[in-house]
Amino acid sequence: MTTSDHDFDVTVRGGRISTDSKTFEADIGIKDGVIVCIQRNLPPGRCDIDAAGRWVLPGGIDSHVHIEQRSGMGMMCADDFYSGTVAAAFGGTTTVIPFAAQHRGKKIPEVIADYAQLAREKAVIDYGFHLILSDPDEVALTQDLPKAIREGITSLKVYMTYEQLKLSDYQLLDVLALAGAEGAMVMIHAENHDMIRWIATRLLERGHTAPKFHAVAHDPLVEAEAGHRAIVMSRLIDVPVLLVHVAGAETVELIRSAQLLGSKVHAESCPQYLFLTEDNIDLPRVEGAKFCCSPPPRDVRSQEAVWAGFKDGTLRLYSSDHAPYRFDESGKLPNGEATTFKEMANGVPGIELRMPLLFSEGVMTGRLSIQEFVALTSTNHARMYGLSHCKGDIAVGMDADLALWNPEREVTVDTTMLHDNVGYTPYQGKRLRGWPEVVMSRGRVVVQDNTLQVERGSGQYIPRRSPEATLPVKTAAGATRLPALLGLKGKAWPTQ
Positions in the binding site for ligand URP (CB under 6 A)? 66, 189, 245, 293-294, 321, 323, 346-347
322 binds, among ligand URP, Zn ion, none (CB under 5 to 8 A by kind): none
Residue nearest to Zn ion (CB): 189
442 binds, among Zn ion, ligand URP, none (CB under 5 to 8 A by kind): none
Sole window of 167-175, 299-307, 313-321, 404-412 interacting with Zn ion (rule: CB under 5 A): 313-321
281 binds, among ligand URP, Zn ion, none (CB under 5 to 8 A by kind): none
Q: Residue 226 or residue 355: which is nearer to Zn ion going by CB?
A: 226
316 binds, among Zn ion, ligand URP, none (CB under 5 to 8 A by kind): none
293 binds, among Zn ion, ligand URP, none (CB under 5 to 8 A by kind): ligand URP
Least Å from the CB of residue 438 to ligand URP: 31
For 151, other C-beta atoms within 10 Å of its C-beta total: 12
Q: Residue 31 or residue 245: which is nearer to ligand URP going by CB?
A: 245
Least Å from the CB of residue 297 to ligand URP: 11
Least Å from the CB of residue 75 to ligand URP: 10
Least Å from the CB of residue 486 to ligand URP: 30
Least Å from the CB of residue 20 to Zn ion: 24
Q: Residue 303 or residue 320: which is nearer to ligand URP going by CB?
A: 320
388 binds, among Zn ion, ligand URP, none (CB under 5 to 8 A by kind): none
Least Å from the CB of residue 69 to ligand URP: 9
Rounded distance between C-alpha atoms, residue 333 and residue 179, angstroms: 37
Count of residues that bind Zn ion according to CB under 5 A = 2
Least Å from the CB of residue 322 to ligand URP: 9
Sole window of 10-18, 24-32, 111-119, 319-327 interacting with Zn ion (rule: CB under 5 A): 319-327
Give the contact letters, 175-194, x = binds to Zn ion (CB under 5 A), - = no. Answer: --------------x-----
Q: Residue 405 or residue 424: which is nearer to ligand URP going by CB?
A: 424
346 binds, among ligand URP, Zn ion, none (CB under 5 to 8 A by kind): ligand URP
| Of the candidates 258, 279, 267, the residue with the CA atom closest to the CA atom of residue 317 | 267
SS (H, E, C) the chain: CCCCCCCCCEEEEEEEEECCCCEEEEEEEEECCEEEEEECCCCCCCEEEECCCCEEEECEEEEEECCCCECCCCCECCCCHHHHHHHHHHCCEEEEEEEEECCCCCCHHHHHHHHHHHHHHHCCCEECCEEECCCCCHHHHHHHHHHHHHCCCCEEEEECCCCCCECCHHHHHHHHHHHHHHCCEEEEECCCHHHHHHHHHHHHHCCCCCCHHHHHHCCHHHHHHHHHHHHHHHHHHCCCEEECCCCCHHHHHHHHHHHHCCCCEEEEECHHHHHCCHHHHCCCCCHHHHHCCCCCCCCHHHHHHHHHHHHHCCCCEECCCECCCCCCCCCCCCCHHHCCCCCCCCCECCCCCHHHHHHHHHHCCCCCCHHHHHHHHHHHHHHHCCCCCCCCCCCCCCECCEEEEEEEEEEECCHHHCCCCCCCCCCCCCEEEEEEEEEEECCEEEEECCEECCCCCCCCECCCCCCCCCCCCCCCCCCCCHHHHHCCCCCCCCCC
Beta bridge partners of 155: 185
- Cβ atoms of 240 and 186 within 8 Å: the answer is yes
Least Å from the CB of residue 189 to Zn ion: 3
466 binds, among Zn ion, ligand URP, none (CB under 5 to 8 A by kind): none
Least Å from the CB of residue 160 to Zn ion: 9
Give how far the C-alpha of residue 326 lies from the chain's centroid of Cα atoms, to the nearest Å.
20
Least Å from the CB of residue 191 to ligand URP: 9
If one asks whether residue 321 binds Zn ion (CB under 5 A), the answer comes out as yes
Rounded distance between C-alpha atoms, residue 248 and residue 268, angstroms: 12
Q: Residue 49 or residue 351: which is nearer to Zn ion going by CB?
A: 351
Q: Residue 189 or residue 391: which is nearer to Zn ion going by CB?
A: 189
Q: Residue 189 or residue 419: which is nearer to Zn ion going by CB?
A: 189
Q: Residue 189 or residue 266: which is nearer to ligand URP going by CB?
A: 189
Rounded distance between C-alpha atoms, residue 268 and residue 86, angstroms: 23
If one asks whether residue 354 binds Zn ion (CB under 5 A), the answer comes out as no
Least Å from the CB of residue 346 to ligand URP: 3
If one asks whether residue 218 binds Zn ion (CB under 5 A), the answer comes out as no
Give how far the C-alpha of residue 32 lies from the chain's centroid of Cα atoms, to the nearest Å.
28
Contact positions toward Zn ion, by CB under 5 A? 189, 321
